[in-house]
Amino acid sequence: MKNGKVYLVGAGPGDPKLITVYGMECIKKAEVILYDRLINTSLLEYASEDTEFIYCGKEPGKHALIQEHIHQLMIEKSQQGKVVVRLKGGDPCVFGRVGEEAEILAAHDIPYDIVPGITAGIAAPAYAGIPVTHRDHASSFTIVTAHGREDKDQDELNWEALAKGSDTIAFYMGVGNLAHICHKLIDHGKSEETPVAVIQWGTTPDQRTVIADLATIEEAVKRNQITHPAIVLVGEVVRLREKIQWFEKAVML
């Protein structure tokens, strides 16, 4: 029997053209594809006809159970000698649980590759006309998960360091927690006037961007009914959008 292998692949942030050449090669040779909720499913059309597709979308509150099931499936299918692709949104190493999955595969002596992808925290701003660094405005960039809430004792972020030490901050999973994020940054010394962009469904035809500042963004997001999935981007670079915005007014050539 031939040996199986698992490819832990980043599908990119939404626009199907943003997957890597290597990622696409993996999809084309996959016999099984386990895919996440936020990937663009049009990518699955490149798989061969007899590829088996398994949806791994996570329901809130059922994470642990489903994650375990995903591990089992990856082990089972690859031990049957199959080429398995675990397709994740954005980059698999950025809030993608690739560490846990690779660890399990390593423990079972199952060969695997990790195929990077373009992460939403860089790509959604880029499509909104916001470079996360800029020679004159930002020389540091931090990626943060912001779903921990203080009232549930889950907020372990070093807000002091974030507020004082990072020029640009991309908060993932943060839109539901926006008020908390803004209060914490202001409390720890960021100016209320620091510009903020919230970019929903970045790099897709449904992309929407709302711009305000730390004091006003919560209200602006509510008014515009921006919800998950969205990147909350904080920093002076947000101002560049005014000059270099391109995607939301793009003309197809």
List contacts with ligand SAH (CB under 6 A).
Answer: 13-14, 38, 88-91, 94-96, 119-120, 124, 172-173, 199, 201-204, 228-231
**Is residue 146 within 8 Å of 156, Cβ to Cβ?**
no
Q: How far is the CB of 141 from ligand SAH (least distance, A)?
A: 14
Which residue's CB is nearer to ligand SAH, number 30 or number 233?
Answer: 233
Given the residues 29, 155, 173, 213, select the one marked as catalytic: 173
d(CA 74, CA 72): 6
Active site residue 88: no
Q: Where are the alpha helices (DSSP H) in the chain?
A: 21-29, 63-79, 98-107, 120-127, 159-165, 178-187, 217-223, 241-244
Given the residues 5, 36, 88, 91, select the one marked as catalytic: 36
Which residue's CB is nearer to ligand SAH, number 9 or number 163?
Answer: 9
Which residue's CB is nearer to ligand SAH, number 174 or number 195?
Answer: 174
Contacts of 153 (CB under 8 A, 6+ apart): none
Q: How far is the CB of 50 from ligand SAH (least distance, A)?
A: 28
Active site residue 36: yes
**Residue 9, token pair as written in the block:** 């692949």
Q: How far is the CB of 2 from ligand SAH (least distance, A)?
A: 30
**Positive or negative: CA dihedral 143, 156, 99, 14:** negative
Contacts of 204 (CB under 8 A, 6+ apart): 14, 15, 40
Which residue's CB is nearer to ligand SAH, number 7 or number 172?
Answer: 172
Which residue's CB is nearer to ligand SAH, number 89 or number 235?
Answer: 89
Q: How far is the CB of 92 from ligand SAH (least distance, A)?
A: 6
**Is residue 174 within 8 Å of 147, Cβ to Cβ?**
yes
Q: Which residues pair with 32 in a beta bridge?
A: 52, 84
d(CA 231, CA 157): 17
Q: How far is the CB of 1 from ligand SAH (least distance, A)?
A: 33
Residue nearest to ligand SAH (CB): 90
Active site residue 50: no
Given the residues 58, 155, 167, 213, select the one marked as catalytic: 58
Q: How far is the CB of 217 from ligand SAH (least distance, A)?
A: 15
d(CA 177, CA 146): 7
Which residue's CB is nearer to ligand SAH, number 104 or number 230?
Answer: 230
**Residues labelled as active-site residues:** 36, 58, 173
